[in-house]
Amino acid sequence: MEREGCLKQIDELLNLPQQSWLLGAGISKEAGIPLMYPLTKRVENLLKDQDLSDYRELLGSLPESAHVEHVLSHIGDLLAIAARSKDKKVVFGKMKRTHDDLKALHARIQSIIRDTMRWGYSPAENERAERVGTANTPIVVVDHHMAFAKALFGARRAGLDRRSAIAFFTINYDTLLEDALALLKISATDGFSGGSMAYWDPLRPEHGFSTPFSSDCGIQARVYKLHGSIDWFVHEEDTVVRLREGAGYPVVQPERLLIYPQATKYRVTQRDPFAALFAAFRSALNSTSPGLLCICGYSFGDEHVNEEIERALKQRGNELTVLAFVRQASGSGGGTEAEGDGLPSVLANWLNGDGSWKERVIVVSNRGVYHGSTKNCLPAGEREHSWWSFDGLTRLLERGPEGQQ
């Protein structure tokens, strides 16, 4: 497809009434929340003594590409082994730790993640100094998320005759998306009933949580937090609650925080709240009418999420189109840019798939546009674009593909 045709198609897709969005850690970077590798280092810097030694031992035993979520996954696996052993202990490396030791380490890592995402942390980068947020001086800002929501719910949907709700599926633990929607007075639900203190109640009819695009009861947006949240806890009798920051009640243990690592997600997705969240994700992906899954800030590192998308794309009769905004790494030169060099391997595999479903995969990067193949739709030598980033995508929503720079 030629350049003009590609850009026109992207613009038309972003105007579809039935839209779902998959959002990853990259959308919160400029808001003051670190990506996974700086977060991994931040956790290491804040742990002490035995916790630090164990963390380093665990991280060192994993592939070089591993980050803190992989460490949490590994601890989850070790906890399962320790629980089954006679003495409730497990050996890893030169360490021998009890089930309680590992449980406490898991909780302390989660607490550091929670506080880092709540108050913010920005590592030193280029000429910018390190910035550390605290309860008294937080550095997290909501401006970028508000600009995105305003662009998406404003000009993009103003002329629609049928305004379905938008379904947001996020793997982020932070609360910036929900906060932005509330500040803009966009009616939204996240499956909880209550206010800043709430309980998990996805079956409540007015939530319509199992029907992602329903606009009944005036709902404009539904937020599905596939990996949990910094303010979700398991309370008595396995009740999931959302707790107000700073409240001393109800009393819950740190290990009851619902931030889950990726390797153990299959197990936890069989129970609520994750069972309901992933059921809604599958429902949104299985589209019998023209629908869009728009992806931003996601590195395609969660196999469970990737498998759900690929399975839906391959399903006969599905009319879902995937529009992924990603940063394409620098190629090796020699014309390989036209072959999608530097794209996430999952996306490259989809674009080079052996079925007609690959025609419903469009990838927009800083260096090109790819539709149904890894052949670049943009002419060689065209300037790099910023539309792959969260702020760049916001400008694209506001001004269209030709005016986003």
Dihedral sign computed on CA atoms, order 132, 135, 136, 142: positive
Spell out the long-range contacts of 315-318 with Cβ–Cβ below 8 A and sequence spacing 24 or more.
315/286, 317/288, 318/285, 318/286, 318/287, 318/288, 318/357
Per residue, the 3-state secondary structure of 203-259, as one string, reads CCHHHCCCCCCCCHHHCCEEEEECCEEEEEEECHHHCEEECCCCCCCCCCCHHHEEE
Q: What is the mean pLDDT of each run of 10 residues along the chain (405 residues)?
A: 84 93 97 96 96 95 92 91 92 89 93 95 92 96 98 80 87 96 95 92 88 88 94 83 81 77 51 87 93 97 93 95 94 51 94 92 94 89 89 94 67
What pLDDT shows up at residue 266? 47
285: left (phi over 0), alpha (psi -120 to 50) or beta: alpha
What DSSP designation does 286 have?
A: S
Spell out the long-range contacts of 327-334 with Cβ–Cβ below 8 A and sequence spacing 24 or more.
327/26, 327/365, 327/366, 327/388, 327/389, 328/365, 328/366, 328/367, 328/368, 328/388, 331/367
CA atoms of 49 and 67, how far apart (whole Å): 20
What DSSP designation does 107 have?
A: H
Cβ neighbours of 178 (radius 10 Å) = 21
Q: Helix, strand, or coil here: 40?
A: helix
- Strands 291-296 and 228-234 come out as unpaired
Within 8 A by CB and 6+ apart from 142, the residues are 31, 176, 179, 180, 183
Which two structure tokens, joined as six digits, stand for 73?
Answer: 């996954």
Cα–Cα distance list, 231 to 19, 120, 247 (Å): 27, 15, 11
What pLDDT shows up at residue 270? 54
Question: DSSP letter string over 385-405?
Answer: -STTSHHHHHHHHHH-GGG--
What pLDDT shows up at residue 382? 82
H helices of 255-385, where?
Answer: 265-268, 274-285, 303-314, 345-351
The pTM (predicted TM-score) of the whole model is 0.92
- Strands 221-225 and 188-189 come out as parallel
CA atoms of 347 and 326, how far apart (whole Å): 10
Cα–Cα distance list, 238 to 176, 233, 245, 268, 399 (Å): 26, 9, 20, 13, 47
Dihedral sign computed on CA atoms, order 126, 297, 258, 67: negative
> From the centroid of its chain, how far is CA 270?
19
Q: Of all helices (H) and strands (E), which one includes residue 80?
A: helix 68-84
CA atoms of 313 and 323, how far apart (whole Å): 12
Which backbone phi and psi does 149 adopt, to 5 degrees?
Answer: -65, -40
What pLDDT shows up at residue 330? 77
Which backbone phi and psi does 329 adopt, to 5 degrees?
Answer: -65, 160
Q: Is residue 320 a contact partner of residue 287, using CB atoms and an 8 Å limit?
A: yes
H helices of 320-399, where?
Answer: 345-351, 390-399
Within 8 A by CB and 6+ apart from 126, the residues are none
What pLDDT shows up at residue 272? 76
CA atoms of 102 and 90, how far apart (whole Å): 9
